């Protein structure tokens, strides 16, 4: 095919034989706007009096345009995780069941190490655990989710613990002569614990101030103020705090004073006779130390002071004489789109303080869906072997997919299924289908009795759903069942047999139980509904008001790729490949110049052949060249073997675009195409 001639002309920024400049659209844009998103956005016009070879050129050009097609994914984006843990979690599944307890063997950055305390070596480790309240959900959890997939949480659904595997006696923690401060790396931050109590509730006391070792005359900056050591005695230290105002004080060893708004504690003194060698250890901060009870806000990590507002609160445990663990737990309920904070959606993350540990809903496992539509319409259908099944202009229930193999009837593939329901005699109901060649076929092996399993199947890649029907009273129930047992419910449609022309009791109105998922009535749902398998039932109420069902069926069960990561985790994302898939144009794009109408002229046209054979080309060139006979003008300027590829903006009115592809003779036109 010769489409490359036009593409080459565009790439060179010129046209063969004649050039037009200054257009918003140029040949460099070709095939746009004549092809948009793989669809034809043009008509190809051949002169009614043109030679057969011009028609051949038009066919060649049309085939070339169709071959451009549309970029279609052939591989999905992938995320490579190193030092983390990744699992696929289904809709309705909880993270506790899928991941269990998470430790350093799962996520790099979580600790499994030793610390020194009170002249002993203590084994410690970090763990993250979940409850069943940390769950992947969609519409079944709350209608307001629509077809979104989210991670919901509840109070206590996520817990982080710093666990002491060896005995740490509560009585040994402190600043006394026989005690030791307990120093740990907690959520990546150094903490000093100066006291622990066993009670109701348990408490811990943290040193919150920053520790400085200063000599006489030394200064430090804190919160915009300067703290200066004036003198160091054997049992006290003299300091000055200067900001917009200045204040001095003497602070005894182990005591705390607020000086000019800054809390200062003299922790220790190194005293010698030479003043220049004396040192004092000062703890300086808004709060030198603070006691926290179980359930208090995690203020040292930036949480608000009021517990009800805090995402994270303290969670620690003692057994009377020893400290078992220090931890935190999630403190908010997020199981509704209106909650604050909101649930976590695909592409988003929930992180522990300091971003020390992250739960990310990276992506869904499936991105390809096929659209299906179920509706009533009039059809003439004939059974070539038994005319008792013939129906003329009868209302049938149509199941329609996008692909040629959207359905299976036994071993046959079909793009559509036609179900005629005989309201007088159910056993004379009949099933037809449109095969992969586009021919309507009668399904002779389906004896449509009152109860029939496996009437046909929805089929898309790895997805299969079987349609069963049951006739009872005034209703026929169509039960769409998941063959993979990935879900707990079926999609159920109820067809009225009195008229056999609509769902439920009333035509063009959504009645109770017209459509259900499992035991849930969807006929009053105004938002998209996603099943556990991942099928999207689009706007059930609005569509049932039109006696329609619209489904988006995924190519496989939809799950969420959940990634757990820590400070040592790396993730690398790669995009999937695409290929250009040739497109079959649904509507005719070829037309004779004598049949072009005003609507055609308002759009984009590709005009094949010169002014001698194509009247539209003649009209355009008459105007362009300001002549009355553009064919004569052509012969004055062009010889055999030459051709024109020319864009004309506003060709037949504002916004219209014409591409002229013409040669001096028919052979030249074919070459230009």
DSSP-assigned letters across all residues of 385-448: S-GGG-EEEEEEEEEE-SSTTSEEETTEEEEEEEEE--SS-GGG-EEEEEETTS-EEE-TT---
State in Å, rounded, how far the first CA of the chain is from the last one. 8
Tokens of 569: 């985790």
Q: Model confidence at 96, in pLDDT bands (50, 70, 90)?
A: very high
The tokens describing 544, both together, are 């049932």
Q: Where are the beta strands (DSSP E) in 144-234?
A: 150-152, 158-164, 182-186, 189-197, 203-207, 210-215, 219-222, 225-232
Q: Shortest CA distance to 281 belongs to which of 301, 265, 262, 297?
A: 265
Between 327-336, 414-423, 471-480, the lowest mean confidence (pLDDT) is in 471-480
d(CA 188, CA 42): 62
Work out the average pLDDT over 162-166.
97
The per-residue DSSP string of 368-388 comes to -EEEEEEEEEEEEE--SS-GG
Q: Which two tokens stand for residue 28?
A: 């460099």
Q: Rounded CA gap, 517 and 515, in Å?
A: 7
Task: Average the pLDDT over each of 35-44, 348-357, 600-609, 629-638 and give the range with the smallest value.
Answer: 35-44
Spatial CB neighbours of 132, under 8 Å, sequence gap ≥ 6: 94, 96, 97
Whole-angstrom Cα Rg for the chain: 39
**Whole-number Å distance between alpha carbons of 247 and 227:** 10
Express as a percent the part of the chain with pLDDT over 70. 86
CB-CB contact of 489 with 531 (8 Å): yes
How far is it, in rounded angstroms, from Cα 494 to Cα 514? Answer: 5
More confident residue, 77 or 148: 148
pLDDT over 90 (residue 50): no
- β-pair type (491-496, 475-482): antiparallel
Reduce the DSSP state of residue 583 to 3 states and report it.
coil
When pLDDT is cut at 50, 70 and 90, the band that residue 487 belongs to is low
Instruction: Encode pLDDT of 513-561 as tens digits.
Output: 899 998 899 999 999 999 999 999 999 999 999 999 999 999 999 999 9
CATH, domain range 3-71+584-672: 3.30.379
Least-confidence region, from 13-22, 188-197, 316-325, 646-655: 13-22
Q: Is the confidence at residue 393, as pLDDT, over 50?
A: yes
Question: Where is 316: in which H helix or E strand?
Answer: strand 312-318
Res. 4: pLDDT tops 50: no
Q: What is the pLDDT of residue 27?
A: 64
DSSP string, 613-673: T-HHHHHHHHHHHT-S-HHHHHHHH--TT-EEEEEEETSSSTT-EEEEEEESSHHHHHHH-
Helix (H, G, I), strand (E, B) or coil at 156: coil
**pLDDT, tens only, 246-283:** 999 999 999 999 999 999 999 899 999 999 999 999 99
pLDDT at 669: 79
Helical H runs in 488-539?
none
């Amino acid at each position: 095919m010769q489409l490359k001639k036009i593409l080459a002309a565009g790439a060179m920024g010129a046209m063969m034989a004649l050039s037009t400049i200054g257009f918003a659209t140029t040949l460099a844009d070709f095939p746009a706007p004549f092809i948009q998103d793989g669809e034809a956005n043009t008509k190809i016009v051949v002169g009614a009096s043109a030679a057969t070879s011009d028609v051949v050129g038009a066919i060649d050009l049309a085939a070339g345009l169709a071959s451009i097609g549309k970029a279609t994914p052939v591989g999905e984006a992938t995320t490579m995780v190193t030092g983390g843990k990744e699992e696929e979690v289904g809709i309705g599944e909880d993270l506790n069941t899928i991941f269990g307890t998470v430790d350093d063997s799962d996520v790099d950055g979580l600790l499994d190490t030793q610390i020194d305390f009170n002249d002993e070596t203590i084994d410690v480790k970090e763990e993250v655990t979940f409850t069943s309240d940390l769950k992947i959900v969609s519409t079944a959890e709350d209608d307001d989710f629509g077809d979104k997939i989210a991670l919901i949480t509840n109070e206590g659904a996520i817990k982080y613990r710093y666990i002491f595997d060896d005995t740490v006696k509560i009585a040994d923690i402190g600043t006394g002569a026989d005690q030791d401060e307990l120093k740990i790396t907690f959520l990546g931050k150094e903490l000093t614990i100066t006291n622990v109590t066993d009670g109701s509730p348990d408490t811990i006391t943290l040193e919150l101030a920053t520790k400085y070792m200063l000599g006489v005359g030394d200064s430090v900056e804190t919160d915009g103020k300067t703290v200066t050591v004036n003198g160091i005695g054997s049992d006290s230290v003299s300091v000055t705090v200067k900001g917009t105002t200045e204040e001095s004080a003497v602070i005894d060893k182990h005591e705390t004073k607020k000086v000019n708004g800054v809390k200062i504690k003299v922790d220790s003194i190194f005293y010698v006779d030479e003043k220049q060698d004396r040192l004092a250890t000062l703890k300086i901060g808004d709060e030198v130390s603070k006691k926290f009870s179980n359930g208090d806000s995690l203020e040292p990590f930036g949480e608000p002071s009021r517990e009800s507002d805090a995402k994270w609160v303290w969670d620690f445990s003692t057994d009377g004489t020893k400290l078992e663990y220090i931890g935190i737990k999630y403190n908010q309920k997020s199981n509704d789109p209106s909650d604050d904070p909101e649930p976590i959606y695909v592409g988003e993350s929930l992180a522990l303080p300091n971003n020390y540990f992250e739960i990310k809903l990276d992506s869904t496992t499936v991105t390809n869906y096929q659209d299906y539509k179920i509706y009533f319409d009039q059809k003439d259908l004939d059974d070539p072997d038994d005319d008792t099944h013939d129906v003329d202009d009868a209302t049938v229930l149509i199941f329609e997919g996008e692909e040629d193999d959207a359905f299976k009837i036994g071993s046959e593939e079909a793009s559509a299924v036609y179900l005629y329901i005989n309201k007088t005699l159910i056993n004379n109901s009949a099933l037809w289908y449109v095969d992969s060649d586009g021919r309507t076929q009668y399904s002779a092996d389906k004896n449509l009795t009152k109860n029939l399993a496996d009437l046909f199947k929805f089929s898309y890649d790895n997805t299969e759903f079987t349609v069963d029907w049951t006739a009872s009273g005034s209703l026929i129930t169509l039960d769409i069942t998941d063959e993979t047992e990935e879900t707990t419910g079926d999609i159920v449609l109820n067809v009225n047999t009195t008229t056999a022309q609509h769902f439920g009791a009333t035509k063009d109105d959504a009645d109770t139980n017209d459509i259900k998922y499992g035991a849930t009535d969807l006929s009053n749902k105004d938002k998209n509904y996603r099943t556990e398998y991942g099928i999207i039932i689009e706007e059930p109420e609005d569509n049932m008001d039109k006696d329609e069902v619209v489904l988006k069926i995924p190519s496989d069960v939809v799950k969420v790729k959940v990634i757990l990561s820590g400070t040592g985790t790396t993730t690398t994302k790669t995009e999937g490949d695409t290929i250009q898939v040739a497109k079959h144009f649904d509507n005719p794009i070829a037309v004779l110049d004598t049949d072009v109408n005003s609507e055609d002229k308002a759009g984009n046209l590709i005009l094949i052949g010169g002014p001698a054979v194509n009247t539209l080309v003649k009209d355009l060139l008459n105007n362009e060249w300001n002549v009355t006979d553009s064919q004569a003008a052509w012969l004055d300027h062009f010889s055999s073997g030459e051709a024109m590829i020319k864009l004309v903006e506003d060709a037949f009115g504002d916004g219209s675009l014409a591409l002229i592809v013409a040669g001096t003779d028919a052979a030249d036109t074919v070459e230009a195409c």
